Every structure is written in structure tokens, then in C-alpha cells.
Amino acid sequence: MNPEADNSLRMSRWNCPVELPADSERVSLSIGEGARHTRRFLQKTVFPRLRCSSSITDATLIEVEQRRLAICTDSHTVTPLFFPGGDLGSLSVIGTVNDLAVSGAMPCWLTMSLILEEGLPVTVLERLLDSAAAAAQQCDVTIVAGDTKVVPRGAVDGIFINTTGVGEFGDSIPAGPKSLEPGDRLLVSGPIGQHGLAVLSSRQGMAFLNAVESDLKCLLPGVSEVLKRGGASVKCLRDATRGGVSAVLHEWAEEANVSFELDQSSIPVSRQVRGACEILGLEPLHLANEGTFVAAVAPACAEEVLNVLRSVPQFREATLIGTVMPKSVTPVAVRRLFGSPIPLDEPAGAPFPRIC
Amino acid sequence: MNPEADNSLRMSRWNCPVELPADSERVSLSIGEGARHTRRFLQKTVFPRLRCSSSITDATLIEVEQRRLAICTDSHTVTPLFFPGGDLGSLSVIGTVNDLAVSGAMPCWLTMSLILEEGLPVTVLERLLDSAAAAAQQCDVTIVAGDTKVVPRGAVDGIFINTTGVGEFGDSIPAGPKSLEPGDRLLVSGPIGQHGLAVLSSRQGMAFLNAVESDLKCLLPGVSEVLKRGGASVKCLRDATRGGVSAVLHEWAEEANVSFELDQSSIPVSRQVRGACEILGLEPLHLANEGTFVAAVAPACAEEVLNVLRSVPQFREATLIGTVMPKSVTPVAVRRLFGSPIPLDEPAGAPFPRIC
């Protein structure tokens, strides 16, 4: 489309009071991918204007009397609405519960705001609400407030769900990336890349991928065991959603001024995901997860924390995948069976938008 | 479009596991209008599934130790993004702050979740964030957490903003509609219909309406005075947003088993709004407001509460507009200069979607 026409069209649509040159900067999909571009955009455009702290965390502390509450918000726009292993309803609850969990908070309350497209079959909405309710029950959170908007056909793609979670911080909260030291071990709670491929397969109707199910699940049982046993030696926790494990590690590397070395042979990847990634030329470390977290643990406790995590049925396949190294030119490198470690790219360019 | 095609198209888009008949019930715009259809839909489809309390309030109580917190959520989808008297940014902050205020809570924290359309000019976003920040400062709330999603062109119309508000309930909270008794007086905090017409005019480019500005403003200064002076005699408070004053009164009438009689001559309507409504055949009582609330007050205190409210500059034009009556066949009737009171419709059919 001719940018001028496009621009004037949008201006009339938005009634924007400022004159916009046709070549004015536009929001790109990569801003939403959850990695470097997102971080840069937030730090440059959003945080200064909203006067927010510029550190990106999964949940924010709000102090009420002696109680330390955690709050986080997430809008869920996944397409298609139903995918192997979950749907928008369960994802909107579990995604937010997991953000609280990896922050070291016990989730208590959720708000749920529905943005519905005119013409959405009510049956579809009912199924999504049913699985949201089931997920809330399973995660032991209560949906306490909500909102429902309906917009005309075409103004939104089917249904988006925002959930905001409020929980309470426990006694042991990970100190965060700044506390990372060379020698700390990296742990991943299970096979990676499942969610990304599950959504991709159902979106593109790739029959050969249909065996892949999303890892969507509540992280609370695993995280609480890790924090209980690991205590202060658990330095960082993060659910590896948009941008996958790679995005998490690159963010930590930047904040902590360290590098990471991963051992390729120990990274848990299911046979189907490995196969699909080879066919499609994808890197599992870049794919989104919705029930898998990364932890950095002091070396002395790493084995012990790994074992307690493995004792939780859903996290039987947890593995130590690498080590924190002194800062080098490559923030994240992967050591293969032979040869020198190869650098791992930070995801950039949003290979799959609307993954969550 | 042929419904079958439409249906199969949508099914492939959503990947819905259930077979949907082409004639399956669809979400309609009227469900989002904030009046009867919304209530029925929530009570039939949403609340039972999410196991929520079926009473519709502006904010929910969550108890933390001795502290009584209020929480509410609202997704803002107004179009166009900029309108006389405000924009999506200020609306997304003030709208949620007002929901807390009319619940008798002092707003403290906000979360803000952005859903951006690929291609949105960054300048547009920057302006919206600037006015959101200004509004937050003016309302004395802190934006503590956020989320940013970008969806491909066409998946959302420009930008939607969800805000979730957390505040703290004060000592005097309105008892709610169930406490209404015949004789109680109805008070409106200012001229009605401004926001609805302001958005309509900027949307349709109706030059003759351009004089109309949205009433968008923080209700806190007015509400806190009313509650301080009125105490327990202030029985109901509600900001008259979607569906206007009419929607609020019809909802109260249903919950309280009473009727209302309004005195047309005392309903504050600006000259421009009255003129525009006559030309367009609209009822000001049906139009959305974003800085105007309705209060039901025990007769003994009504005048006193009115005067204290009028002493607040932004609410100088507050007026007593009617009285609670014993339940009759018409939930809300309007007494004109001559003749018998005429029944007032409950808004139904969403005359203007995406007003907030």
C-alpha cells in the first residue's frame, strides 16, 4: 500500500492531532517478540514516559502494611485460539500465574478482561472460559474482577484476554541477575520449544508437527520446591516464554555483565521438536515455552536443587544445561560435541508473533 | 458473506475443536454496551463458568491482613484514539481510577498492558503514553507493572490499553442498590452526554458537534467530598459510562426492586449536547460519560451532599435530578413540564460501540 495513503487513512482513523510524515517510525512485530528489540523499545519509549523503573521483572512488589504483594499483567493474543495442549483460556490464567511463581510469589487473585470480536461464536467463548476456570482451580487462584468489551468485526482478531495477577512474595526471592557469578549453574525445568512448535503447527496446519504438544502448565509446584530447597543459592528464575531460553539468557547476560556457556548435548529437546526444528531450520533455544523455567543456581547447591525438582512429576526431565562464565564477546555460546563453542543469537525479528 | 463460508473460515482461523453450526449464537455488539444485554450475558455465560459472584460492581474487595484492598480491570478500545477533551491514554488511566473512586476506594497502583498493531506510528503511541502519565500523576496513582504485545496488521485496530487498578477502601463505602428506599434522592455530578457526543463527533467528523468536549476527568475530588459529608446516607455511587445514566438507573432498579422518577427540567445537559441530541434523535441519558457520576442519597442529607459537591470546582453543576419510587412497571420514568411521566428505555443495541 502506498505509505501516504496508508498514513492519511490511519490519521483519519485515529484522529491524531500531530502531522505524521509518511516515513515516521512504526511499531514493528519485533518489538513484541520479548527479546532485545522489546527491551530497547521499552527502555527508550515506554519507561521514561510512564516514569517506571527500567528493570524488566515478571512481577512488581507493592507493599501493604507488613505484607509484600506481587502484581503483574499480561495480555494474551495467541492464534489460533486452540492448540495442542491448551487454548487461550488456560494460557491466559497459567501464563500470569507463572509470572508470579517465578518471581517467588504465591498467586492469589486474578482479574480477567475480555476483548471480543463481534460475531465470535458464543460456544468458542464458553470453551475458553471453561478452560480458564479449570486452570484457575488447578493453580488455586480466584478470578475476582473482570471486564467485557465487544468491538466491531475486524477491530480485533476473535478474542484477546488480559489477566492481571496479584500474589504474595514468599520468604526466599531470587536475588536476580546482578547476583550472578562465574561458576553458577544453569538449570532448565524440562524439554524446550514445545509451546512454540505446538502453536506453529496448529497455525500452519503442519500435519507432521501434530505430535508436538504445548508444555503449558503451572510452574508453581516446581518453583516452590526449588526455592524451598535452594534458598538464597537460587539466584535467578524466569519462565522461558517469548524468545525462549535464548531471550532469558541474553537478558541476564546484559544485566549481570556475564556470559553463558551451554552444553548442547545436555539441553532437553523432545525427538519431535528436534526433528521439526531440523526440517524447518529453527533453533529450539529460540522457541517459546509456557511451562518451562530457567534457573541459575550457585554451584554448591545445583545438583541438590536439580534432584528436588526432578522429584516433582511434571519436572522429571529437568537438566543442568550450562554454566555462568566471565563476560566475553559472545553473551551466550553453545558447546557442541566437537569443535569450539558456537555463539547463540539473541532472537530478533519475531519469527512467530502471537505465540502467547 | 455466506454464513457457512464465514463459519468454516473462522473455524480454520481459530482451530476450534467443536463443530459449530453456521447458525450458532454469536457475540453481538450489544453485549458490550454496558446495559441489560451485558448483564444478561455475564450472568448467563461468564459468571457461572468463572465461578464469580454474580453481582456487578465497579471494584472487588480483596482482604490483606487488616487492609481492605479494591481491585478492578478495564480494557480500553475507544476509537478514534484522540477526541476532544482526551485520548485513549488519559482515558485508560482515569477510567480505571474512577471505577475505584466510585467504589469508595482510594486508587494506589495501576498496571498497564498495551496491545499494539504492527505499523502504528511510534509518535502516536508516545503521545498516548505521555497523556497516560500525566493522568496518572494528576490522579496520584503509580503505574507499577506493564506488558507490551504487538500483533500483525489487521489483528487489532491501532492500539488497545488494559489497565488494572488496585486501591484501598475507605471507611465509608456506599451500601449499594439493595439499600435504596423510596424517597431517596438521585444526584448527578454534572452535565451528561459530553463524552459520548465528543467521541461520536470526532469519529464521524461532524463539524457541528466539534464544540462538544468529553467530560473525561478524575472523580476522586468529588466522590471523596460526597462520602466524607454524606457518610452512610450515600447509598449508591456509580460513574455513568457505557449506557449513560439510564444504564446505571436500570441496573439499580433491577437490583433494588424500586423505580426511579427523574425531573427532566433539572437534568443538566449543555446547550451543545441538547442541540446535537435533537438533531441526531439521541437521548442524553443514554450517552456515555467519563467524568460524571450518579449518587443515591437519603433525603435528609441530599441537599447537604449536593452543596458540598458543588463546592468542588469541577462539580459546580451537580444537580438533584430525581427520586427513588416504589417499584412500578416502568423502572425509570421522566417527568416533563406537562403531562404524565414518560418511561425511559434502557439502552439496548449499542448505538455507539468503542466509546471507552
Given an 8 Å threshold on Cβ–Cβ distance, is B82 in contact with A125?
no
CB neighbour list of residue B271: distance below 8 Å, 6 or more residues apart = none
Given an 8 Å threshold on Cβ–Cβ distance, is B80 in contact with A15?
yes
Given an 8 Å threshold on Cβ–Cβ distance, is A125 in contact with B151?
no
Beta strand spans in chain A (E): 60-64, 67-76, 82-83, 86-87, 105-117, 142-151, 159-169, 185-188, 234-239, 258-263, 293-297, 319-326, 332-335, 342-343
Q: Is A152 on the interface with B (CB under 8 A)?
A: yes
Judge contact between A200 and A310, C-beta under 8 A.
Answer: no
What's residue B142's pLDDT? 94
**Rg of chain A over all Cα atoms, to the nearest angstrom:** 21
Query: Residue B208 — pLDDT band, cuts 50, 70, 90?
Result: low
> Which residues on neighbouring strands pair with residue B167, listed in sequence order?
B70, B107
Grid coordinates given for B24: 450458532
What's residue B9's pLDDT? 43
Given an 8 Å threshold on Cβ–Cβ distance, is A353 in contact with B152?
yes
Q: Is B21 on the interface with A (CB under 8 A)?
A: no
Judge contact between B67 and B39, C-beta under 8 A.
Answer: no
Mean pLDDT of A238-259: 95
What's residue B202's pLDDT? 85
What's residue B5's pLDDT? 44
Residue of B108, B111, B120 lying closest to A26 (CB–CB): B120
Query: Residue A9 — pLDDT band, cuts 50, 70, 90?
Result: very low
Q: Is B81 on the interface with A (CB under 8 A)?
A: yes
Angstroms from A6 CA to nearest CA on chain B: 10
Query: Residue B1 — pLDDT band, cuts 50, 70, 90?
Result: very low
More confident residue, A90 or A56: A90
The per-residue pLDDT for range B302-311, each reduced to its tens digit, is 999 999 999 9
What's residue B2's pLDDT? 44
For A322-346, letters b (16+ CB in 10 Å) and e give: bbbbeeeebbbbbbeeeeebeebbb
Residue of A71, A114, A132 lying closest to B166 (CB–CB): A71
> Which residues on neighbouring strands pair with residue A107, listed in sequence order?
A167
Number of residues assigned to chain A: 356
Q: Cell 484514539, residue?
A: B81
Angstroms from B215 CA to nearest CA on chain A: 18
pTM value?
0.94
Distance between CA atoms of A108 and A106, rounded to whole angstroms? 6
**Where do the domains of chain A lie, and which CATH numbers do they carry?**
58-169 (3.30.1330.10), 177-343 (3.90.650.10)
Residues of A with CB below 8 A from B113's CB? 73-75, 162, 164
Report ipTM (2 d.p.). Answer: 0.93
Residue of A32, A72, A166 lying closest to B148 (CB–CB): A32
Which one, of A25, A165, A23, lies nearest residue A107 by Cα?
A165
Q: Is B100 on the interface with A (CB under 8 A)?
A: no
